[in-house]
């Protein structure tokens, strides 16, 4: 797939191949009845594409690290919290980065062993810490209070884990404030440039010989590669300082986080892992010379391009002179896009009732979702072949942070998610990744078992 030197083509194959696979999958989903009047929305995952991205990630770092350097690529489970996806990545040599008891349970259910799991959340309870340390999962302490809890567990002999501290290099934010983790006032990690903080971190390590890792995650989507590299460079410099003052190589592993931005504007994969690895090598050559083991935590860039939400056009109408396609995909699957359309625009592809790509001419139209509020729009004023009743609208690049992040507005059901691949005889085969939520499940999750809880409370 990749020797780490290609541009554009080294994540998930070429964009053209990926788009062709997607078109075939949409048609097959309609033909095979996965998608239709009774099942008007599905999430589709391109298994070959996910495998190719995983391979590209490994190749990119193999190309810049000294032979024998331990490198753990840990998938940020929050990007696509689906057990079969985490399992597929595990098979591709990718571990798991988890940030809640739920995510840890998903990683364990997928069979990711503790030594390939990293726990990073900002609000870990004592019980979570105890479990992680007993299992031997790597933990990055977010702050001094958390480190004090870890001190107690280590003193009690509970720990088998590689342990580190998360720092915020405070190198600044990117174009999306909500995803910029290295601003001066970010809630994550120990803010390194605050008065006295750097010295506190160094002392924390000198006082605790068992702190052997250092972690930073400079941001996600919207952060330029050079700024991400600056965050890594700051972290590396701190590790060097700690090791020099300790007089030994106490920090032996650097966790450089994730955050490679994804291009949502076309089928091209840019930037690539290979580009980022080269930027890092240029900015921080010592990172790759074999003295440090490495951990990465990519999420969005491994999955985004490989997921598609496909939704049926229930009605096609006109309002104020503008065509509006009312589909079954809206805020429940594309929450960020609906609430922050400027920051999270999605490409929409038009397919006809048979699942074939629609031909032009382009017509300026709105693509709406099913929820009962006016802002529930996947796209506004978008030029596309006219969507008609019974057609399908596909929201592209939605494999990360979209259809697996259900938002239960209007009690809209979680859609089914299916992986697709070649069936060996020229067609497309699907595998169920997650069943669609049933109406009975919606009722049950909405307190259905407690119908009379408020009308006949205990003691009344």
Ligand X SMILES: *Cc1c(COP(=O)(O)O)cnc(C)c1O
Using CB under 6 A, list all residues that contact ligand X: 76, 78-79, 97, 120, 217, 220-221, 257-260, 297-301
Residue pair 88/47 in contact by the 8 Å Cβ criterion: yes
**Closer CB to ligand X, residue 161 or residue 221?**
221
Q: Which is nearer to ligand X, 220 or 337 (CB)?
A: 220
Q: How far is the CB of 72 from ligand X (least distance, A)?
A: 13
Directed axis angle between helix 144-155 and helix 126-135, to 10°?
A: 50
CB 51 to ligand X: min, Å: 18
- Closer residue to ligand X, CB minimum distance, 105 or 453: 105
Query: Would you give the DSSP letter of residue 419?
Result: E
Say how far apart CA 371 and CA 217 lie, in whole Å: 35
Q: State the nearest-atom distance from the C-beta of 297 to ligand X, in Å.
A: 4
CA separation, residue 387 to residues 121, 225, 316, 377, 391 (Å): 43, 38, 7, 14, 6
Strands 117-119 and 138-141: parallel
Compute the least distance from the CB of residue 189 to ligand X, in Å: 9
Check the CA dihedral 99-105-111-114 and report its sign: positive
The tokens for 376 are: 């529930």
Which residues, other chains included, contact 334 with Cβ-Cβ below 8 Å and sequence gap of 6+? 309, 344, 346, 369, 378, 395, 398, 402
Write the burial class of residue 3 (CB in 10 Å: 0-12 exposed, 13-18 middle, 19+ buried): exposed
Positive or negative, the Cα torsion across 133, 233, 2, 17? positive
Provide, rounded to whole angstroms, the least separation between the CB of residue 123 and ligand X. 12
C-beta of 58 vs 300, nearer to ligand X: 300
Closest to ligand X by CB, 71 or 371 = 71
The residue nearest ligand X at its CB is: 299
Q: Measured from the CB atom, is 169 or 257 closer to ligand X?
A: 257
| Residue 223 CB, nearest approach to ligand X (Å) | 8
Residue 220 Cβ, how far from ligand X at the closest point, in Å?
3
CA distance 65 to 357: 43
- Tell me whether residue 118 or residue 367 sits nearer to ligand X (CB atom): 118
């Amino acid at each position: 797939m990749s020797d780490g030197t290609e541009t554009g083509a080294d994540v998930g194959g070429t964009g053209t191949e990926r788009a062709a696979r997607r078109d075939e999958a949409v048609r097959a989903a309609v033909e095979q009845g996965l998608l239709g009047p009774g099942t008007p929305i599905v999430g589709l995952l391109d298994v070959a594409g996910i495998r190719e991205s995983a391979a590209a990630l490994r190749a990119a770092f193999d190309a810049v690290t000294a032979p024998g350097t331990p490198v753990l690529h840990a998938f940020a489970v929050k990007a696509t919290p689906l057990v079969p996806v985490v399992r597929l990545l595990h098979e591709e040599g990718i571990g798991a980065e988890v940030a809640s008891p739920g995510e840890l349970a998903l990683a364990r259910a997928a069979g990711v062993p503790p030594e390939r799991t990293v726990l990073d959340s900002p609000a870990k309870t004592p019980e979570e810490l105890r479990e992680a340390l007993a299992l031997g999962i790597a933990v990055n302490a977010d702050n001094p209070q958390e480190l004090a809890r870890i001190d107690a567990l280590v003193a009690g002999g509970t720990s088998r884990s590689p342990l580190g501290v998360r720092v915020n290099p405070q190198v600044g934010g990117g174009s999306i404030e909500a995803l910029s983790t290295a601003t001066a006032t970010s809630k994550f990690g120990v803010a390194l440039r605050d008065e006295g903080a750097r010295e506190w971190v160094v002392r924390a390590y000198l006082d605790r010989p068992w702190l052997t890792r250092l972690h930073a995650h400079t941001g996600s989507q919207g952060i330029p590669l050079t700024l991400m590299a600056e965050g890594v460079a700051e972290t590396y410099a701190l590790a060097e300082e700690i090791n020099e003052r300790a007089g030994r190589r106490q920090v032996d592993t650097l966790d450089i986080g994730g955050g490679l931005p994804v291009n949502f504007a076309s089928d091209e994969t840019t930037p690539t892992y290979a580009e980022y690895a080269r930027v890092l090598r240029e900015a921080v050559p010592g990172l790759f010379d074999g003295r440090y083991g490495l951990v990465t935590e990519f999420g969005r860039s491994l999955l985004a391009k490989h997921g598609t939400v496909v939704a049926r056009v229930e009605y096609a109408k006109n309002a104020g002179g503008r065509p509006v396609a009312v589909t079954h995909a809206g805020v429940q699957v594309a929450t960020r896009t609906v609430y922050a359309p400027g920051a999270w625009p999605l490409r929409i592809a038009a397919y006809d009732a048979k699942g074939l790509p629609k031909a032009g001419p382009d017509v300026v139209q709105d693509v709406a979702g099913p929820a009962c509020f006016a802002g529930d729009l996947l796209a506004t004023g978008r030029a596309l072949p006219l969507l008609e009743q019974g057609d399908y609208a596909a929201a592209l690049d939605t494999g990360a942070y979209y259809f697996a992040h259900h938002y239960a507005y209007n009690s809209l059901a979680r859609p089914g998610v299916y992986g697709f691949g070649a069936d060996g005889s020229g067609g497309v085969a699907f595998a169920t990744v997650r069943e669609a939520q049933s109406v009975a499940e919606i009722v049950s999750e909405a307190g259905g078992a407690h119908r009379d809880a408020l009308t006949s409370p205990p003691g009344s």
